[in-house]
Amino acid sequence: MANKSLFSSFVGRQQPQADTRNEAGGPAYRFSTKHALAQYAVTGCLNSTFYASATAQLAQVLKLAAAADAEFVAKTALYCRTRGYMKDMPALLCATLAARDGALLARVFDRVIDDGKMLRNFVQIVRSGVLGRKSLGSAPKRLVQRWFEQRDDTQVFRAAVGQSPSLADVIKMVHPRPADAAREALYGWLIDRPHNADALPPLVRQFEAFKRGHSKVAPDVPFQMLTALPLGRAAWQSIAGQAPWQMTRMNLNTFARHGVFDDQVLTRQITNRLRDPHKVRRARCFPYQLLTAYHSADKAVPAAVRDALQDAMEVATENVPAIQGRVFVCPDVSGSMQSAVTGNRPGATTQTRCIDVAALVAAAVLRTNRDAEVLAFSDHVVPCELNARDSVMTNARKLASLPSGGTNCSAPLRHLNAQRTEGDLVLFVSDNMSWVDRQGGGRSTATMQEWEKFRSRNPRARLVCLDVQPYVSTQAAEREDIMNIGGFSDVVFEIIAAFAAGELSPEHWVGLIEKIEL
């Protein structure tokens, strides 16, 4: 008899042979160039991850961007900024276009480089020399000048936070032409050159008066402009009273330290601001950022304010689909998922781990689909009892606290197959670094083999693999019943819903990016 380990029969259609090894050494399927670029664009933050250094990530992105056609690079930059809410990656992709296709860059520049942070990122990357140049060049310089021309005085002034380069550095590089006396004075003030103080825009004059102690009313300026000033409790309460939504979310502990919550009326105002559905949506906040704020809030932050973060989470995850049929959500709780979701960077590493994001997605799906079953896994399926009526925050915390181990992506499917379970959608949230179930000389991954068994009983079932890390392989090959997607924003829920309803083309996620109008 021939060797059964080599010639064993398999269930279902002919499966594609695994064509690569993932970073953990397990067999995997390599993404296409376009898919890999999209994956890096929506999950890569150019910081070191569990399996890859920041330098390796950058090299991979540049390689993928060079291999993809310039139009797809432009569309990916648009997608990861406007729908993925990323910062570094869209700026990097625009910088590659600056050296490759200036006309395409001009068509997407205003929509991608849409605030001061993005402008500084773009200028920093172009001038770094990494892309083969140390200066902006004439075409990018005109685009940066246009950026200034399209903004009013207040917008330019409020963008003047951050360093390396600062907005003043950018002004010195591109020499934007002032349209009137107020703008001329503003540019002079920003770059510390002689200027007409009486011609400064009103907000700048308010800020100067506040700095000098001539006014006790905090001006409506970015938080970073005020933190270095010697401020009393009244000033901090004034700042908190008019702080925008994102600033409020990020500085709750700071507000508590400076007595902001001693004012009950102001506390109610902040609470209502945080839970305001319109403000939550407009802030383009990642759901995991709310989870981070909730976990980070110390005991000095009032319970009502912490509860408002839970209310905001319900808004931030409102795009979670209500899916017809039986749904299984499989969050990966293995060791590699304990790493920071946006990678490690000295002094700036987020407290939120990949496992927190996986748990959050699972809890959000359970919240909308009360009959869904959550199958957390590492080496095997990890038992966990969840109440669908609990908040997203509560269930996410339970899942993230489960014991970890190695990565075995096929474990949930093997568990379902052992019970001959019927189902309609299986959703994995993982980094796809499966290695416990690697097969010696097998045709395909263990995940693909188990999926075929599951689908032989459930011919209309669909599999979604949501990846939260920037790697170039998957455990389940893309086809009409399998979608691979990446990202942290709530837009992934919309795409999962469309896929579950059979509304996406065979290209799935990459197809959506390719349909973007330039």
In tens, the pLDDT along 219-243 reads 888 888 887 788 888 888 988 998 8
Specify the amino acid at residue 66: A
Predicted confidence (pLDDT) per residue in 28-83, tens digit: 999 999 999 999 999 888 877 777 788 888 999 999 999 999 999 999 999 999 98
CA 293, CA 298: separation in Å to the nearest integer?
A: 10
- What per-residue confidence (pLDDT) applies to 333? 94
CATH code reported for the domain at 321-514: 3.40.50.410
Separation of CA 34 from chain center: 19
- Please tell me the distance from the alpha carbon of residue 473 to that of residue 436, in angstroms, as a whole number: 16
Q: What is the pLDDT of residue 10?
A: 47
Q: Among 268, 325, 276, 275, which Cα is nearest to 302's?
A: 268
Q: Which range has the top average pLDDT, 52-56, 215-219, 247-251, 294-298? A: 247-251
In this prediction, residue 465 carries a pLDDT of 95
Which of 443, 462, 439, 517 shows the shortest CA–CA distance to 325? 462
Are 417 and 450 in contact, with CB atoms under 8 Å apart? yes
pTM confidence score: 0.87
pLDDT of 413 reads 97
- The pairing of strands 373-374 and 327-331 is parallel
CA distance 455 to 65: 35
Residue type, 456: S
Q: Looking at residue 347, what is its pLDDT? A: 66
Q: Which of 486, 473, 483, 468 is nearest to 434 (CA)?
A: 473
Complete DSSP assignment for 70-128:
HHHHHHHHHHHHHTS--SHHHHHHHHHHHTT-HHHHHHHHHHHS-SHHHHHHHHHHHHT
**Mean pLDDT of all residues in 194-202:** 95
What pLDDT digit, counting tens, does each position of 339-381 carry?
A: 887 777 766 667 788 888 888 888 888 888 888 999 999 999 9
Whether 254 contacts 298, CB under 8 Å:
no
User: Residue 490 gets which letter from DSSP?
Assistant: T
| Spatial separation of the C-alpha atoms in residues 318 and 278, rounded to whole Å | 12
* Cβ 258 vs Cβ 233: under 8 Å: yes
Structure tokens at 340: 């920071």
Residues whose CB falls within 8 Å of the CB of residue 69, separated by 6 or more in sequence, listed in order? none
Confidence of residue 423 (pLDDT cuts 50, 70, 90): very high
Q: What is the DSSP string of 425-454?
A: EEEEEE-----TT--SS-SS-HHHHHHHHH
In whole angstroms, what is the distance from residue 109 CA to residue 19 CA? 37
Per-residue three-class SS string for 158-216: HCCCCCCCCHHHHHHHHCCCCCCHHHHHHHHHHCCCCCCHHHCCHHHHHHHHHHCCCCC
CA distance 316 to 363: 13
Whose tokens are 């540019």? That residue is: 187
Q: Is the confidence at residue 168, as pLDDT, over 50?
A: yes
Given this model, what pLDDT does residue 312 score?
A: 92
Angle (CA) 318 74 140, round 5°: 120
Q: How far apart are CA 461 and CA 502, in angstroms?
A: 11
Domain ranges within the chain, ordered by starting residue: 321-514
Q: What band does 2 get if pLDDT is binned at 50, 70 and 90?
A: low
Most confident of 64-78, 131-145, 376-390: 64-78
Pairing of strands 327-331, 425-430: parallel
Nearest partner of 76 among 106, 115, 105, 37, judged by Cα: 37
Of the candidates 247, 245, 356, 239, which has an alpha carbon nearest to the alpha carbon of residue 292? 356
Cβ neighbour number for residue 6 with a 10 Å cutoff: 10
CA angle 293, 232, 301 (to 5 degrees): 25
From 151, 150, 156, select the one nearest 203 (Cα to Cα).
156
> pLDDT grade, residue 12 (50/70/90)?
very low
Q: Which two tokens stand for residue 36?
A: 């890999």
Strand 373-374 with 376-377, pairing: unpaired
Lowest-confidence region among 133-137, 265-269, 304-308? 133-137
Per-residue pLDDT at 11 exceeds 80: no
Q: Are 417 and 453 in contact (CB under 8 A)?
A: yes
**Mean pLDDT computed over 444-459:** 95
Q: d(Cα 301, Cα 285) in Å, to the nearest integer?
A: 20
Share above pLDDT 70 across residues of the chain, in percent, rounded to a whole number: 96
Query: Under 8 Å CB-to-CB from 402, ≥6 apart: which residues?
Result: 333, 376, 382, 384
Highest mean pLDDT among 32-36, 214-218, 362-366, 503-507: 32-36
The DSSP secondary-structure symbol of 225 reads G
Mean pLDDT of the chain: 89
CB neighbour class for 330 (10 Å; exposed up to 12, middle 13-18, buried from 19): buried
